[in-house]
């Protein structure tokens, strides 16, 4: 988990391209290098076209895509359509529970 990077980029309705330009370039570089990408608390809404283009263009088909959602079974098809060549791994839990679990795992390793 030492290489873990957490980033929050708000959906399109809440951002301007000028405000986020440096963040988008950084995100693209991080995503290209990632072997696993976890989406927690983000459902990939169709209106967030800039983010969808970023994710589908930068995430390697070899990367594992995990998503955290209490309704993981319902969201599996959605993520599979967006990332048809990737291994998709649903994690059935809420965002807060996921953060607590990650924190607990990190604490056990240190």
pLDDT digits (tens, 9 = 90+) for 48-60: 888 899 999 999 9
* pLDDT-based confidence at residue 102 (cuts at 50, 70, 90): confident
Structural domain of 92: 12-109
> Which residues lie across from 91 on neighbouring strands?
68
Higher model confidence: residue 39 or residue 25? 39
In a domain, 27, yes or no: yes
In a domain, 52, yes or no: yes
In a domain, 5, yes or no: no
Task: For residue 57, give Cα distances in angstroms to 13, 26, 42, 81, 110.
Answer: 21, 14, 18, 14, 35
Coil, strand or helix: which one is 21? helix
User: Average pLDDT, stretch 67-95?
Assistant: 93
* Torsion, Cα of 49, 51, 56, 61 (10° steps): -160
Q: Lowest mean pLDDT: which of 39-48, 56-65, 79-88?
A: 39-48
Residue 107 confidence (pLDDT): 66
Residue 13, pLDDT above cutoff 50: no
How many structural domains is the chain composed of? 1
In a domain, 53, yes or no: yes
């Amino acid at each position: 988990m030492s290489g873990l990077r957490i980033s929050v980029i708000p959906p399109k309705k809440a951002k301007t391209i000028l405000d986020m330009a440096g963040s988008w370039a950084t995100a693209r570089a991080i995503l290209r290098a990632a072997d696993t990408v976890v989406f927690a608390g983000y459902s990939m809404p169709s209106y967030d076209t800039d983010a969808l283009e970023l994710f589908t263009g930068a995430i390697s088909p070899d990367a594992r895509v995990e998503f955290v959602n209490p309704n993981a079974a319902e969201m599996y098809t959605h993520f599979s359509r967006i990332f048809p060549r990737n291994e998709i791994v649903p994690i059935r839990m809420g965002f807060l529970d996921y953060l607590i679990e990650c924190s607990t795992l990190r604490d056990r390793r240190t």
